[in-house]
Structure 1
């Protein structure tokens, strides 16, 4: 591409605003899981909303598409520019301000390029909690969290990203600015346009700002590692935990023996925790007041679980270090899979009441179709989300294995989940890797409505073309 085509962008964005050197582009064009090598002539790095509006005008004038990108930590290729599409990456990493915090209104306003951990810290400085919590929170950015409607570890109590949003600011494909950055919890003035952009993966506009709900800091915790008995019914356990704890449970994480084994292999040393025949659950209760006897509540809950014969043993964290170790084990399962050679990731959701049904039927299906494959399943089962991952066999090519699974048993697992009232994408989104699944498993009326919205808001296909919807989808 002639270099002078990018000169208007350089004039607009200033020093460091346009990256073109191949070594600089590399980290923006390879997706997080190294499944797709993208292509772009340049990465644009605006510093303000006005610059985002300006670069959209320039892109339209010169026939470029735009791919918004946060921390590039997504799992489905939604922020990766496709080869041949003449797309520029728009990174919001220089738009990372904490705009305002209102401790009495329990709200936080941020640029969309703010790193999630920085937003959490800004809330914590005022003794408040931003409950969105992900394994990638040290590098993912709020715009990406909003674009994918990220889930994470505390959905059980606080909901998905969508449930945390009060206000939004978006640069639209015609370079106009939609701004609704009010911090109101009640604002019933008709259709709520901001909801269109949450989970849209940058296909309808570039999110530049957000107002988020906060909660009182949850300074008091009680954490336990539960060893489940054979056949322990997860739906009943989850329901009992919620009732007995007065719904103070923030996390209810299932960890299978195979997933724990991957962490142990990666470490090369024994782990001081183990699963029961039914796996393990990492359970945590949190409160903002010392007047709530969390340890007593947790102990009473565990007693009920053991009386039912569902839990064989439990270890209660006696210190912050012990609690952190429990969480480190849970959070390093993906690294354990990677260390073992990688995995094909099924991000499945079913109603909590159907968890046991899914795990039983999926296990039988896998034993019949791929009896030698190593399974790693874990996840946020308190909200019905199971990461049902197949580890690449030793000596096999990761990409070839992924293609084989994708063309074969993955469809059976997705069909099983959907048949139980579930979904093939719980929290990762659609991106470029799951476009065919959206077309295959989603109701035609839903797809048609999505395509109508895309055409109505972005008729020229400027915003993240190829993500979520196939070209010309209807």
Structure 2
């Protein structure tokens, strides 16, 4: 347990507002987003400057005290939750919340790591530009966490993951050293690309305190279709056709099963599922000269000709488009209202999505045919949110534990056997560290352990998350 002298020194560095010790105020920082893990901490540290973060890390390194960086605390894998020892401090980024600069000519946005994603989007929009990163949690998640998990979201198909949007980073290393690489360059071949070590590292190698993000011209026109799928549609072939016939203007290609749709109230029953579920497809453009509505109509006509759609509704107004997206984005809330779900963040190659749906469904039915699935996700990039609903009357935590131990490994084995993975965009955190060790290529895992030991030799950065160098290599 950190001594009183260390707490006193932290108060000198951060001021009274920067050190929270009251149990009632600490509570929200000590439980993960899914309420699966509850930790303990002597205090939550709330720095308001990069210099304060540097001072915290120097002190933590000196005393060998664990620091758990936390941004918006929206991790699905307990990646920002301290353990139960009460010896790890939470370092909250919430006061590092300044938009540093928007450069319209360079099309870049420079921000503190504690800026809420929605506020970053608004800062870009005020300059007539667009930050093409959209998540269901964008109103609460923060840039540092988005970078730490390499978040994906609704537009990965066209714009890539978070790492594809990061041009520069500012990071404080475990010993308090500042790595300042806040450059706006698209091209920079001057040695190792250090920033990539911290993107997706979940705060295990350092504390991201600032970032330069790439922006694009603001889309001013969107064309959106709700496709009621026929049975057994070859989704990869459908995606390939739509991308080809729209000249790859597709920004989103989302799959929703009928069961997932039923968890969310639809628009008076008008927006319904086909026999094979739904595809929500959207094109976007910043040009007033591109007739994207006509382009979408033409592509949807070909989808119908192929026999892949029972019906297609093309949004005729923004309200109708917004309702389509409301349904897609509120499925997680619908699962919560139902009683919760056990989430599996599956990723497979694009060509194997239908194969996984069939084999995964068979594995679930073989385990317990009464289980209900809520499956949806970004099939345009191979990412399926393959969730098992908690049966009515069952204890959510007990059910989650049973499925995680007994059924989830079967699903992960199927995905990995297809060249996929157990985590597409949610990360590893504490909950999936064993999976990383189990499924990792030994050579790759050796490199991960080596990086952890190189950057954090004393193990003060988010101890217990992602990689534990004290655990041996996988067999």
Identify whether the pair has TM-score above 0.5, normalized to the shorter chain.
Answer: yes
Contact 2:39 2:86 in 1 (8 A): no
Counterpart-to-counterpart distance in 2, 1:166 and 1:61: 32
Aligned position for 1:451: 449
Aligned position for 1:255: 256
Q: CA deviation at 1:389?
A: 0.3
Counterpart-to-counterpart distance in 2, 1:42 and 1:443: 38
Counterpart-to-counterpart distance in 1, 2:33 and 2:366: 32
Contact 2:453 2:469 in 1 (8 A): no
Aligned position for 1:378: 376
Aligned position for 2:236: 235
Listed one character per residue, the Cα deviations across residues 219-272 of structure 1 (whole Å, up to 9, x for unaligned) are 1000110000111110001111110111111000000000011113xx8x9543
Counterpart-to-counterpart distance in 1, 2:287 and 2:231: 36
Aligned position for 1:285: 283
1:327 aligns with 2:328: no
Aligned position for 2:105: 104
Q: Which one of 438, 459, 462 corresponds to residue 460 of structure 2?
A: 462
Q: CA deviation at 1:127?
A: 0.9
CA distance 1:85–1:24, shift in 2 (3 Å): closer
Counterpart-to-counterpart distance in 1, 2:198 and 2:86: 22
Aligned position for 2:20: 19
Listed one character per residue, the Cα deviations across residues 201-234 of structure 1 (whole Å, up to 9, x for unaligned) are 0000000010010000011000110000111110
Q: Map 1:149-228 to 2 at 5 A.
A: 149-228=150-229
1:272 aligns with 2:270: yes
Counterpart-to-counterpart distance in 2, 1:387 and 1:368: 20
Counterpart-to-counterpart distance in 2, 1:239 and 1:163: 22
Listed one character per residue, the Cα deviations across residues 164-184 of structure 1 (whole Å, up to 9, x for unaligned) are 010001000110001111100
1:31 aligns with 2:32: yes
Q: CA deviation at 1:448?
A: 1.0
- Aligned-residue RMSD, C-alpha: 1.2
Counterpart-to-counterpart distance in 2, 1:423 and 1:59: 34
Listed one character per residue, the Cα deviations across residues 298-328 of structure 1 (whole Å, up to 9, x for unaligned) are 0000001011001111111111111111100
Contact 1:465 1:471 in 2 (8 A): no
Contact 1:154 1:251 in 2 (8 A): yes
Contact 2:167 2:184 in 1 (8 A): yes
Q: Map 1:350-365 to 2 at 5 A.
A: 350-365=348-363
Counterpart-to-counterpart distance in 2, 1:99 and 1:175: 22
Listed one character per residue, the Cα deviations across residues 101-148 of structure 1 (whole Å, up to 9, x for unaligned) are 110111111001110000000000011000011000001000000000
Structure 1 length-normalised TM: 0.98
Contact 2:64 2:458 in 1 (8 A): no
Contact 1:65 1:85 in 2 (8 A): no
Aligned position for 1:422: 420
1:432 aligns with 2:430: yes
Structure 1: 4+ residue segments shifted above 4 A: 1-4
Q: CA deviation at 1:64?
A: 1.6
Farther off after superposition, 271-280 or 215-224: 271-280
Q: CA deviation at 1:54?
A: 0.6
Counterpart-to-counterpart distance in 1, 2:186 and 2:469: 37
Aligned position for 2:67: 66
Listed one character per residue, the Cα deviations across residues 266-304 of structure 1 (whole Å, up to 9, x for unaligned) are x8x954311111100111100001100011000000001
Counterpart-to-counterpart distance in 1, 2:110 and 2:165: 12
1:120 aligns with 2:118: no
Q: Map 1:334-353 to 2 at 5 A.
A: 334-353=332-351
Structure 2 length-normalised TM: 0.97
SS of the equivalent of 1:263 reads coil
SS of the equivalent of 1:52 reads helix
Q: Which runs of 5+ in 1 are unaligned?
A: none
Counterpart-to-counterpart distance in 1, 2:405 and 2:94: 36
Q: Which runs of 5+ in 2 are unaligned?
A: none
Counterpart-to-counterpart distance in 2, 1:4 and 1:12: 13
Q: Which one of 359, 365, 368 corresponds to residue 367 of structure 1?
A: 365
